Structure 1
């Protein structure tokens, strides 16, 4: 991107009161914006971007055969499902949890308000497993932090460590992530769907790991095939996101018009992203060799969070192209 374009972007970020925005392309930091200097060293809640970090941990555990293959029924970890009156619950697999397609009757926010209700109970896992099925497992994506908590519980059980301990050994230490904070449920299991607090630069490192297809400093932390598989579109996402869903990653695309030949079709540029409530993003754009991180904290002023990547950065990329 040209310096003039970046100047206009910085102006927009300032106007939107964006907390932070980092853009790395071809291994070079081309924008590092913070509203306040202290933001560089502050831990901040990344909300549901936590889900994509959990996806990485489950991927690592599957690669290392600590967690069984993704088509394994979760009955193996939750034997109480054998007593459930609905036999279809015994068909739910680890992959169904990862793709939010377990089939539970769930409304994350609004309506049933399943997530706030879950978080007020004394046993989140019991609450999730006791929900009736509204769909056959594997047929429809319904956004659910309950699925994420089941995954975190499976990971804790399989590796014999807390989720955070496993994360420190397998992910944080190799990436040089030295400080974090991670909330837990009433059973002491780290929250799978939210609750991780990181610095913006450490969010960027996580995005770079995925851009590098799981490779880091000569080590393969996640197998390439696993990264590619887990970030592909499995199922169309429920509104309001016009996107698809992979293994706890959102996937989308934008159109590029070459402008050279009016008869030529526009090319579609694929990207995938971690998304947290209130405008927290880790965006990976492989064809541009780019990672974008955004954190925001001004979303409570009756203002819809802005998708800064889609609304402001994509137009600059198209100009550049």
Structure 2
């Protein structure tokens, strides 16, 4: 077992005023913090962690043969792309959408080509598709909740089921997730990049599913091939981000110099949402770390995992199962 000083951790994260912090090791909850007792049973916005849930649903659809190869052009689902003046739009594939490398000119949090502007239009998909291109598809990651909405529409087209219904049958139901809310766009399609509300414990179930390579209590909800493939680094990201982007997941590594001056490190992948929502999965340590917050302001927010939790994990001895 990891010999984490949980008292030290509790005092270290206190100033951050987290909504919740859960750490699970080898399937056992070893640290649990809630700012208020009722938080344990309350659902709350997970913001862009929704993207990783959508990724899971798309993997399930792939396993079922409902979603075509990821090399399939996005124009197969949005014919307007095939008729676009810019030939680069015809090159966008499903994998480009999953890795945020579609090439659209997009600024996400502000400006004319942005997520806030999209949500104020009557047809989000039309808004996204009409945006100009800034890059050749596949060459640069540009964070874009618009392409996540495209993927949610594609999920509906290929499965014939809204994302929430598909999730209830193939993901939420098997995981025992019964409490949730999920927003929709003006056309009634569930939001792909944000808008899902879950309990912290249910985020932990989701993280454990990926730690166990798509297996939940002996049942393979996502094939191990796709569960692993979807969290592998696909493209390096640039400031203000760090690490790599995967299929609507992030990936990074942590290294620290131990007291003996011999470096120790681990790789991890994670879901992240605005305001401090995270699901960190650390395969080497057989561990999942869930963090939630309700920081509504776009102010500098400490990376609680890297600043307070990861250093304790990297320097302590680990006994593998």
What is the TM-score with the length of structure 1 in the denominator?
0.95
Matched with 1:297 is 294
Matched with 1:287 is 284
Where does structure 1 lack aligned partners over 5 or more consecutive residues? none
1:307 aligns with 2:303: yes
Matched with 1:67 is 67
User: Is the contact made by 1:73 and 1:92 (CA closer than 8 Å) also made in structure 2?
Assistant: yes
What is the TM-score with the length of structure 2 in the denominator?
0.95
Q: Distance in 2 between matches of 1:172 and 1:77?
A: 26
1:189 aligns with 2:189: yes
Q: Distance in 2 between matches of 1:232 and 1:192?
A: 20
Q: Distance in 1 between matches of 2:249 and 2:97?
A: 12
1:272 aligns with 2:274: no
Where does structure 2 lack aligned partners over 5 or more consecutive residues? none
Matched with 2:148 is 148
Matched with 1:125 is 125
User: Is the contact made by 1:299 and 1:305 (CA closer than 8 Å) also made in structure 2?
Assistant: no
1:15 aligns with 2:34: no
Q: Distance in 2 between matches of 1:215 and 1:159?
A: 22
TM-superposed deviation, 1:256: 4.3
Superposed CA deviations along residues 112-140 of structure 1, whole A, max 9, x for unmatched, are 45111111000111111111110001111
Matched with 1:251 is 251
Superposed CA deviations along residues 155-182 of structure 1, whole A, max 9, x for unmatched, are 0111001110001101000000011000
Q: Distance in 1 between matches of 2:72 and 2:266?
A: 33
Question: How many residues get paired?
Answer: 316
Matched with 2:203 is 203
Superposed CA deviations along residues 189-244 of structure 1, whole A, max 9, x for unmatched, are 00000000000000000000000000012111111111111111111123212111
Secondary structure of 1:83's aligned partner: coil
